[in-house]
A = this chain, B = another copy of it.
Amino acid sequence: MLANMPPRSPRATMKDVAALARVSPKTVSNVVTGSAQVSEPTRQRVEDAMRQLDFVPNLSARTLRNGRTGIIGLALPDLSTAFSADLTHAVVQEAHRRGQAVQIEETAAEPDREHDLVSRARAHLIDGLILNPVRLEDSAVEHEESLPPVVLIGEVEQTRTDRVFIDSRRAAEEVTAHMLSRGARRLVALGGAEHGERATATARLRLQGFRDAHAAAGLSSAPERELGVWPWSIGGGAEAVEQLVSAGVEFDGIVAFTDSIAMGARHALHRHGLSVPDDVLLSGFDDVEHAAYSIPPLTTVGFDHHDYAVAALDLLAARLDDRSRATRAEPIAHRLIVRGSTGDPGAAPRGHRPA
């Protein structure tokens, strides 16, 4: 189908098309962008010429001229987690639907990467940035005078940028309450920060919800059962549980702050002969595809990843149209998804008792 094409070492430009169609370059531009009226016969000639030369507009030139690249940046802490994969998938799909391309960045490995991205905005090559902040939290955003178009995802305790979030505190409270109702009495929070340490807003809020649920049930959570996890990955989750066990802490349920952490936890529990949910209840966060297929299926907090992506892209698009509009925070609905990993009503977990 593409066989009978002229050998095209240097790609055809508007000037070439114009010459072939016997019009000016600007007319070609008008045909391409549709930004001005072009008579039917002229349009035909131009379109034929474009087809004949396999013309593709040079985006660099267009960008240089009018300032927009059509590329948005997506910066996530760790691209290898299941949630990152899901989110990337959703963002790329939705961005493509809008004619935008996605440039992807990873921030966790390098301390200054987030700051760089925000402050340089990839040297004009991206129009805006969707950022899941971890390291600098809001500080990169705080210190900049004039921000590039940025949408933060996840909880952030400031109002200077647009953001999309789920109510992590409430969600954590719900999942914790659920596990208490299933008979757990010594719940572990996996992902909350150690005391005094810096933590992401997300971690803080989930920990808060965990505690709130205890308080509402007339119980209280124990400091030795509030564990930090780093990184928030399968390996991190497994390691945290190893520590928990070797520290001789008694527990009968684990509220992991991501599904990946939960998967790691389950592995470590298994290694120590502890079964889910008979001995220990287990829940996660994010509802990645894998959660439903785990054995037993994982109880988790779910929300629509696609909605999340749409909301972020909407906010970004609106910001690009009007840089000075008031910032908005878009909440995304979540729901508790109860599956086998938190057992059955009336059957309390046996719990882990150190020898």
Q: Select which of B88, B93, B263 is within 8 A of A88 by beta carbon.
A: B88
Q: Is the CB of A69 within 8 A of B234?
A: no
User: Nearest-CB distance from A259 to chain B (Å)?
Assistant: 11
Which residues on the B side are within 8 Å of A96 (C-beta)? 105-106
- Among the 9-residue stretches A18-26, A120-128, A179-187, A211-219, the one with 4 or more Cβ atoms under 8 Å from chain B is A120-128
Please report the C-alpha to C-alpha distance between residue A78 and residue B289 in the assembled complex, in whole angstroms. Answer: 13
Q: A126 CB to closest chain B CB, in angstroms?
A: 9
Chain A 55-73: CB-based contact to B (< 8 A → 1; otherwise 0): 0111111011000010100
Contact bitstring A83-97, B, C-beta under 8 A = 1, else 0: 011101100110010
Q: Which stretch, A2-10, A168-176, A201-209, A250-258, touches the partner chain B? A: A2-10
- Closest residue of chain B to A5 (Cβ to Cβ) is B145
Residue of B9, B86, B290 touching A263 (CB-CB under 8 A): B290
Does residue A235 face the partner (Cβ distance < 8 Å to B)?
Answer: yes
For A293, give its contact among B63, B145, B238 (CB under 8 Å): B238
> A123 to B123, alpha carbons, bound, how many Å?
19
The CA-CA distance from A71 to B123 in the complex, in Å, is 12
Complex interface: chain B residues within 8 A of A146 (CB): 7-9
* Chain B residues in 8 Å Cβ range of A264: 293
Report whether A234 and B290 are in contact in the complex, using a CB–CB cutoff of 8 Å: yes
Which interface residue of A7, A60, A122, A123 has the most chain B CB atoms within 10 A? A60
Chain B residues with Cβ under 8 A from A263's Cβ?
290, 293
A80 CA to B109 CA in the complex, in Å?
22
Say if the beta carbon of A310 comes within 8 Å of chain B. no
User: With A60-B69, A84-B85, A125-B60 in contact, do A106 and B79 touch (Cβ < 8 Å)?
Assistant: no
Number of residues on chain A facing chain B (CB within 8 A)? 63
When distances are taken between beta carbons in the complex, the residues of chain B under 8 Å from A109 are 93
* Known interface pairs A7-B146, A92-B104; A82-B79 also in contact (CB < 8 Å): no
Closest to A68 in B: B60
Query: A195 contacts the other chain (Cβ, under 8 Å)?
Result: no
Interface string of A254-278 (1 = CB under 8 A from B): 0000000001101100100000000
Complex: chain B residue closest to A106, CB-CB: B92
B contact residues around A48 at 8 Å (CB)? none
Interface flag for A81 (CB, 8 Å): yes
Q: Are B289 and A266 in contact (CB under 8 A)?
A: no
Q: Looking across the interface, which residue of chain B has its beta carbon closest to that of A80?
A: B89
Does the CB pair A101–B80 fall under 8 Å? no
Query: A270 and B295 in contact (CB under 8 A), knowing A60-B64, A79-B89, A124-B58?
Result: yes
In the complex, the answer to whether A267 meets B289 with C-beta atoms within 8 Å is no
Using known A-B contacts A92-B104, A120-B56, determine if residue A295 contacts B295 with beta carbons closer than 8 Å. Answer: yes
Given contacts A11-B124, A82-B290, A267-B294, 16 further A-B contacts (CB under 8 A): A2-B144, A2-B145, A8-B146, A57-B123, A58-B124, A60-B63, A61-B64, A78-B89, A79-B92, A80-B85, A81-B85, A82-B85, A88-B88, A101-B103, A263-B290, A267-B293
Between-chain CB contacts (< 8 Å), 22 pairs? A2-B145, A3-B145, A5-B145, A7-B145, A9-B146, A54-B119, A56-B120, A58-B124, A59-B122, A59-B123, A60-B124, A69-B125, A78-B89, A79-B85, A80-B89, A85-B88, A88-B104, A92-B104, A96-B105, A101-B103, A235-B293, A290-B290
Report, nearest first, the 3 A-B pairs whose CB atoms are least far apart: A85-B85, A80-B89, A79-B89
